[in-house]
């Protein structure tokens, strides 16, 4: 039999302990470093940007991210610069973990996956938990799901448009191309938005030739690369003109995406889905 007086005393001690934990948290705010642009966007979307003390040189959104200390690139993190920031929490992808060395014992490693749409949504929940923003994370995930459901309803009943996403190639020629396979959040957004991947193989990011594109014969081609910023759309379209045996080329359904956020698993995925659905529904010509 448990004494009610002892039980109350035990509860009081637990409450006191929780109180001191919260007080300590308020007295010593987190020092967070983000190792990817998509993770940085999540932190901002959760309203926890004041905790960020370091980000990568590619973290350019929202604009306020430009004012945060840079600790290198995506995979070439400057470990010395990172250590100098004395972080207590580091947000990263699995490919970053092995590079953290002594920091593994000095800071909390929050490792989240980013390949699929489901990974992104779970990463928001995990980061929200790590940054004491669980309520905000739930709201953000709910808002993304709502937007994606709206896009899905918008294209319901439409014929799926066979599509390829070219995520890289030689800038001046249609060589050394690699495309997005089915194991990627962009492919998940494609399926939601009224398209389907013309590539049906099992390689995540296959390298293909122009002959392979001719064989796949997609109805829509997306060229996605921030490297195209200084290249006119006309020059890119001129590369494709000789290949009008490809349906996307014949129908001028080639879309050039110069904004890098299309390749970022972050809070703006709903916007990507909306734009995809808009392209498919309007049959928009890419010659702009």
Q: Which of 146, 177, 199 is at the close of a domain? A: 146
User: Does residue 271 share a domain with residue 164?
Assistant: yes
CATH assignment at residue 175: 3.40.50.1980
Domain that residue 77 falls in:
29-146
User: Does residue 196 share a domain with residue 142?
Assistant: no
pLDDT tens digits along 122-143: 999 999 999 999 999 999 999 9
Q: Report the domain count for the chain.
A: 2
Q: Report which DSSP code applies to 268.
A: T
User: Does residue 277 share a domain with residue 186?
Assistant: yes
153-163: string of b/e by CB count within 10 Å (b at 16+)? ebbeeeeebbb
Q: Look at phi and psi of residue 254 and say left if phi exceeds 0, alpha if psi is from -120 to 50, else beta.
A: beta
User: Does residue 273 share a domain with residue 193?
Assistant: yes
User: Does residue 86 share a domain with residue 53?
Assistant: yes
Cβ atoms of 69 and 52 closer than 8 Å: no
Q: How far apart (Å, rounded) are the C-alpha atoms in residues 69 and 251? A: 46
Cβ atoms of 137 and 110 closer than 8 Å: no
pLDDT tens digits along 37-93: 999 999 999 999 999 999 999 999 999 999 999 999 988 999 999 999 999 999 999
User: Does residue 69 share a domain with residue 134?
Assistant: yes
Give this prediction's pTM. Answer: 0.86
User: Does residue 189 share a domain with residue 128?
Assistant: no
């Amino acid at each position: 039999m448990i004494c009610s007086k002892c039980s109350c005393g035990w509860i009081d001690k637990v409450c006191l302990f929780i109180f001191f934990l919260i007080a300590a948290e308020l007295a010593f705010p987190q020092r967070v470093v983000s190792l990817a642009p998509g993770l940085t966007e999540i932190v901002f979307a959760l309203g926890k940007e004041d905790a960020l003390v370091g980000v990568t040189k590619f973290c350019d959104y929202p604009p306020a991210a430009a004012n945060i200390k840079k600790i290198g690139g995506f995979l070439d993190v400057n470990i010395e610069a990172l250590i100098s920031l004395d972080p207590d929490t580091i947000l990263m992808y699995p490919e970053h973990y092995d590079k953290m060395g002594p920091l593994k014992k000095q800071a909390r490693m929050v490792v989240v996956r980013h390949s699929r749409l489901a990974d992104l949504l779970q990463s928001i929940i995990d980061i929200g938990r790590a940054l004491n923003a669980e309520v905000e994370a739930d709201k953000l995930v709910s808002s993304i799901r709502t937007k994606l459901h709206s896009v899905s309803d918008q294209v319901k009943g439409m014929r799926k448009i066979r599509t390829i996403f070219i995520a890289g190639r030689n800038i001046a020629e249609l060589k050394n191309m690699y495309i997005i396979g089915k194991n990627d959040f962009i492919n998940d957004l494609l399926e939601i938005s009224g398209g389907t991947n013309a590539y049906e193989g099992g390689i995540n990011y296959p390298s293909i030739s122009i002959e392979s594109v001719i064989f796949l014969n997609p109805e829509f081609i997306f060229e996605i690369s921030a490297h195209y910023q200084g290249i006119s759309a006309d020059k890119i379209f001129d590369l494709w003109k000789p290949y009008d045996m490809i349906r996307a080329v014949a129908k001028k359904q080639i879309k050039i995406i110069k904004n890098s956020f299309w390749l970022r698993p972050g809070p703006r995925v709903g916007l990507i889905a909306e734009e995809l659905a808009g392209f498919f529904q309007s049959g928009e010509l890419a010659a702009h």
